């Protein structure tokens, strides 16, 4: 069934599947709000949105698919894609690797062989990537990232200033990581500017519907299927999806690959983005997180959706 999903969304009753999966995952009230960024503890814990966008431009959604939340770590996939395109794979690989770490997203561990962060999906790797974009684009860096994410979503995105300020004033662990990266050479410029860019990008506001469209842009090899605008280059998208597949769900990545089987990225704002190559983008939003920092209900919805639509790549 997978081969027909994108082109025959209505024929396969994709909207009905999305509603059914939403209804099945809704009763799962497990998990807790992220509170280490104080502003994230202020959101309504019960919100739950699910959206699926096809590479031929359909969007099917259920529940709170238009509720805004901050993108947080899901931005790491897009920032990596942008850095690859701006600087090329070799330069980016000098600063951050592509191996799963098996550690938590905020772990302070570097690959002992190279002193680089293990991959761009954990905080250390994403802060190194922010350092690369910051060094390349200077004062324009945030606008450049915002513009590309907006192109992927097909609408102008903005930043949640309260969430940005909340993390910028409490994010000492990430600031510490930035300075360690400066010491090891993974960041060669201004460590404070790098982590500030990282905080701003994490605070970009999206909805589950936006995430689905952004995923469909990745699935469509970088071109937004609705607007036709090229947001990312083909090679960068392929590399990004590869690293999302192996590292996007942190120390749950192995289980995710086993059961869901598509590239994905989660964020502590409660979002999960999934990509079905050439076919679909999937966005979920439910802010209660499990012990590994992934949206509990989002994971449940992805399991159900993968089963219903036969999404697994193998
Ligand atoms: O750096 C942080 O801790 C947050 N801005 C983002 C972490 C995150 O989203 C991890 N994802 N599940």
Question: How many whole angstroms from 89 Cα to the centroid of ligand 1?
Answer: 24
Question: How many whole angstroms from 164 Cα to the centroid of ligand 1?
Answer: 12
| CA-closest candidate to residue 110, choices 95, 130, 92, 89 | 95
Q: Report residue 171 as tokens.
A: 């994010």
119 in contact with ligand 1, CB cutoff 6 A: no
Q: Which residue lies with its CA nearest to atom 7 of ligand 1? A: 73
Q: Report residue 9 as tokens.
A: 């969304």
What's the pLDDT tens digit per position in 295-312? 999 999 999 999 999 999
Exposed e or buried b per residue across 287-307, where buried means at least 16 C-beta atoms within 10 angstroms of its C-beta: bbbbebbbbbbbbbbbbbbbe
What's the pLDDT tens digit per position in 14-37? 999 999 999 999 999 999 999 999
What's the pLDDT tens digit per position in 78-130? 999 999 999 999 999 999 999 998 889 999 999 999 999 999 999 999 999 99
Question: How many whole angstroms from 7 Cα to the centroid of ligand 1?
Answer: 34
Contact 272, 252 (CB under 8 A): no
What's residue 77's pLDDT? 98
Question: How many whole angstroms from 126 Cα to the centroid of ligand 1?
Answer: 10
Q: Which residues belong to the annotated binding site for substrate?
A: 73, 123, 167, 174, 198, 250, 268
What's residue 12's pLDDT? 59
170 in contact with ligand 1, CB cutoff 6 A: no
Tally helices (H) and strands (E) across the chain: 12, 8
User: How much is the ipTM here?
Assistant: 0.98
Query: Domains of the chain by range and CATH?
Result: 2-72+203-309 (3.40.710.10), 75-201 (3.40.710.10)
Using CA atoms, how far residue 185 sits from 82, 87, 197, 305, 312, in Å, is 21, 17, 18, 42, 38
What's residue 250's pLDDT? 86
Q: Which residues, listed in sequence order, are joined to residue 265 by a DSSP beta bridge?
A: 273
What's residue 10's pLDDT? 59
4 confidence band (pLDDT: 50, 70, 90):
very low
Question: How many whole angstroms from 55 Cα to the centroid of ligand 1?
Answer: 28
Report the pLDDT averaged over residues 146-172: 98
100 in contact with ligand 1, CB cutoff 6 A: no
Distance CA 257, CA 303 (A): 11
* In the predicted structure, residue 6 carries a pLDDT above the cut 50: no
106 in contact with ligand 1, CB cutoff 6 A: yes
What's residue 308's pLDDT? 95
Residue 231, Cβ density class (10 Å: 0-12 exposed, 13-18 middle, ≥19 buried): buried
* In the predicted structure, residue 228 carries a pLDDT above the cut 90: yes
Distance CA 133, CA 63 (A): 36
Ligand 1 atom with minimal separation from the 268 CA: 9
Ligand 1 atom with minimal separation from the 293 CA: 12
Beta strand pairing status for 204-206 and 158-159? antiparallel
123 in contact with ligand 1, CB cutoff 6 A: yes
268 in contact with ligand 1, CB cutoff 6 A: yes
| Distance linking the first and last C-alpha atoms of the chain | 13
* In the predicted structure, residue 54 carries a pLDDT above the cut 90: yes
Q: Strand runs (DSSP E) across 21-66, as ranges?
A: 49-54, 59-63
Residues 6 or more apart whose Cβ sits within 8 Å of residue 147: none
Ligand 1 atom with minimal separation from the 289 CA: 12
């Amino acid at each position: 069934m997978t081969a027909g999903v994108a082109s025959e969304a209505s024929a396969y009753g994709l909207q009905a599947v999305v509603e059914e999966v939403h209804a099945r995952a809704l009763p799962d009230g497990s998990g807790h709000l992220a509170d280490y960024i104080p502003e994230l503890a202020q959101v309504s814990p019960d919100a739950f949105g699910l959206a699926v966008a096809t590479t031929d431009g359909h969007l099917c959604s259920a529940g709170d698919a238009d509720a805004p939340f901050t993108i947080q770590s899901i931005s790491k996939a897009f920032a990596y894609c942008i850095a690859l395109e701006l600087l090329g794979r070799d330069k980016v690989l000098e600063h951050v690797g592509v191996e799963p770490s098996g550690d938590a997203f905020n772990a302070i561990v570097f690959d002992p062989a190279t002193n680089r962060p293990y991959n761009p999906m954990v905080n250390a790797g994403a802060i190194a990537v922010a350092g690369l974009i910051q060094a390349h684009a200077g004062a324009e860096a945030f606008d450049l990232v915002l513009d590309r994410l907006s192109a992927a979503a097909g609408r102008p995105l903005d930043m949640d200033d309260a969430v940005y300020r909340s993390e910028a004033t409490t994010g000492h662990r990430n600031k510490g990581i930035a300075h360690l990266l400066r010491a090891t050479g993974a960041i060669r410029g201004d460590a404070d500017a790098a982590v500030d860019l990282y905080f701003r990008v994490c605070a970009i506001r999206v909805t589950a519907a936006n995430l689905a469209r952004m995923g469909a842009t990745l699935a469509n090899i970088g071109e937004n299927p609705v607007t036709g605008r090229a947001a990312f280059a083909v090679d960068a998208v392929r590399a990004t999806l590869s690293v999302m597949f192996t590292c996007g769900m942190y120390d749950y990545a192995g289980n995710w690959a086993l059961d869901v089987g598509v590239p994905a990225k989660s964020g502590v704002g409660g979002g999960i983005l999934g990509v079905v190559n050439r076919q679909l983008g999937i966005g979920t939003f439910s802010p209660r997180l499990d012990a590994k920092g992934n949206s509990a209900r989002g994971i449940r919805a992805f399991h159900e959706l993968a089963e219903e639509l036969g999404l697994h790549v193998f």
